[in-house]
Amino acid sequence: MTNYIIRRLLLVPVLLFGVTLLIFGMLQLLDPDERVSLYIRGDPKSDAQVNAFIKKYCLDCPFYIQYKNWLLGTVDTVTGEREGGILYGNFGWSKTGSQPVAQLIARRFPNTLDLTLWAIGPVIFVGIWLGVQAAVHHNGIIDQVARIFSIVGTSFPTFVFGLLVLMIFYANLQWFPPGRLSDEFTRVVNSDQFTHYTTLLTIDSLLNGRFDIFLDALRHMFLPILTLSYISWATFLRVTRGSMLETLRQEYVVTARAKGLPERDVIHKHAKPNAMLPVVTLAGFTVVGLMGGVIITETVFNYPGIGSAAAEASVQLDVVTVLGFALFNGLILIVANLVVDILYAVVDPRVRLS
């Protein structure tokens, strides 16, 4: 197991190099005048200022020099001070957010992470449960209903379902509003009365003893979670059902039943653990999608997460911000891929012994 994890860890630097090289290669599609926006704050005041930045950051130098400066930063020849690159958290300047991209990510990502933490349970575990039930009751009424649900779920556009639940639960019933928090609680959270321990609103509200803020935050997250769950349940149902049906036909399952083991033990102790390998893959990349920001869902519900920020940057052609988000998502993907590989070894011993 240890050797398996070490091998996977050794791949991480290679993957990081590939991701950074790809993102920087995309930046090369821009002219030096446009790449100045990586470093200059606001709009340049004159052509002379643009040319000065091009010379300072070697934006007209060979590719490998630019790549090194982008990673490690540059040293001011006059003052001797170092301005860090992306390895120091300098992703450039966001025109959309009027702040460094790193600060924009730091401000928006906790909201997306908060949503992810509350969505993981309904998205993954309910979807797996539905798939197991459909497989166990193969060709029965539960399986037929589950298959219809899966077809409708996979063919239903996210924004359509989001707008539908928004019209029902907000426009008509006034139960679950969009946004992140009600105005009265937003003022409290932004005041000195509220202490930010973790930057996650639901957890901080509990730590501050403000259960009213906690419930209001959950009320605002209910519709985004419902939308994400409904769309994901269909996919998890299909994958889990197919994997379970294949596992239930294996000889060791037939043998377990022939020995007279209770059906519950056959399903949950013998079949289900061995059917989870493809589900682990799906779960890992579903979490990556949530943490990377679900652009459509956050935009529909006006949720101030990293996905809606990326959408705003895209609409305003803020290339630097979009590529900063792409690099951040790439880092999340690499970490998640490592976690999924380790979970493979936990779920299936054959993987760690290979």
Span of 42-56, 83-97, 261-275 with lowest mean pLDDT: 42-56
Q: Assign 42 a pLDDT band (cuts: 50, 70, 90).
A: low
What stretches of 73-177 show up as alpha helix (H) in DSSP? 101-120, 126-136, 141-155, 158-166
Q: Where are the beta strands (DSSP E) in 231-301?
A: none
Superfamily assignment of 99-353 in CATH? MetI-like (1.10.3720.10)
Span of 45-54, 163-172, 343-352 with lowest mean pLDDT: 343-352
Ranges for all domains in the chain classified under CATH 1.10.3720.10 = 99-353
Q: Are 59 and 66 in contact (CB under 8 A)?
A: yes
State the chain's mean pLDDT as an integer.
82
Helix (H) or strand (E) holding 94: strand 93-94
Mean predicted confidence (pLDDT) in 226-239: 86
Say what angle helices 2-27 and 319-347 make with each other, to 10 degrees: 160
- pLDDT on residue 135: 86
pLDDT above 90 (res 215): yes
pLDDT above 80 (res 50): no
Span of 76-85, 180-189, 310-319 with lowest mean pLDDT: 76-85
107-135 confidence digits (pLDDT tens): 888 999 888 889 888 888 888 888 888 88
- pLDDT on residue 101: 86
- pLDDT on residue 25: 84
Q: Are 248 and 217 in contact (CB under 8 A)?
A: no
